[in-house]
Structure 1
């Protein structure tokens, strides 16, 4: 959502005009500036800069969910799941990894996190006729160790 164009953010007209005039075309452009710089770029006061950050953040950021809401969703079985094809893992996860959610996989080195994530990426991208999602995958490697050969 960081690359969402300002024109699609349904911002108040005066704010959209200010951002466009200053070539702050995406949410990332507007949110990456410190408030002091945003004040200078917008040539406006602190209240306007705060309003801009609040509006852009509200549109560009996913809604906050509490642990209780996630637990209730899990108990009700709402939302799709991507089966990992590991029976025990799928049972613990109530059917697999939640679809449409950000999932972080953590653990000690050498435990198989990367292999597990690559397998999930492949499973998510496979066509529906193979029992998969026929979807698109975003793989975020925070350690810059991704190997495309793998």
Structure 2
């Protein structure tokens, strides 16, 4: 079987003004096509950081991959350009965050935020992106593109 994801000896550090903090040390795992894998461990053991490193979301949190490799469908994620990452994030690889309430910005409607994501990934008009967002919301039982706190509390 083909490896979809191959992580070998992954090391991750976070940086601040005073020091660097190593948070992952030599993490390795492989996921083959058709497999389902769960990361299990105590709070603070590195599950979320590993997931964020795979998608290179740590780049936005003063983190960096300092060693090892991450290969997704034969492509080297660790050295991939930001532009190339945008092409695969959300379409070929994505993450469901543990706290769904923090996934949406409470200042904007869910419809607006989904529309913005569609526009970032698909070459469609704003109207088509909006229609697609409304369709997706309807499919999961959300009747209107309201604000996150209004939708969740229904």
TM (norm. structure 1) is 0.28
The structure in which a higher percent of residues are strand is: 2
Structure of higher CA gyration radius: 1
Greater helix fraction, Structure 1 or Structure 2: 1
TM-score (ref. length: structure 2): 0.28
Q: Which has the higher contact order (CA 8 A, sep 6+)?
A: 2
